[in-house]
């Protein structure tokens, strides 16, 4: 997964303080000024979300305006998971 995070320029993981992600560690990449992809690390699994925040600094601190689960239990070896991630990132 580290290669996925580096390739798509996700932030380093940090602790969620907003309780939107159950206090788990999260990382994100920017789609535009208000929309972000977020990976939540839940023990050894990762969940991918698309979200909308008023500003980047709100991620992990405030509740998002929009939060939609894209892929539960993301697995980079599953082509459909890789395609879904790329579809969001190719739109920017």
Domain ranges of the chain: 2-90
pTM of the model: 0.94
pLDDT of residue 91: 64
Q: What is the pLDDT of residues 2-12, one digit of tens each?
A: 999 999 999 99
Question: What's the order of all strands across the beta sheet hosting 66-71?
Answer: 14-15, 25-30, 35-42, 45-52, 66-71
Q: What are phi and psi of 58, to 5 degrees?
A: -80, -15
pLDDT 10s digits, 19-72: 999 999 999 999 999 999 999 999 999 999 999 999 999 999 999 999 999 999
User: What confidence score (pLDDT) does residue 49 get?
Assistant: 98
Question: For residue 90, what pLDDT band results from cuts at 50, 70 and 90?
Answer: confident
């Amino acid at each position: 997964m580290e290669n996925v995070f580096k390739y798509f320029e996700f932030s380093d993981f940090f602790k969620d303080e907003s309780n939107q992600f159950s206090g788990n560690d999260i990382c994100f990449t920017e789609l535009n000024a208000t929309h972000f992809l977020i990976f939540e690390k839940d023990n050894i699994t990762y969940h991918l979300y698309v979200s909308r925040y008023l500003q980047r600094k709100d991620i992990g601190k405030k509740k998002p305006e929009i939060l939609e689960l894209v892929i539960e239990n993301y697995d980079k070896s599953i082509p459909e998971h890789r395609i879904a991630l790329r579809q969001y990132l190719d739109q920017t």
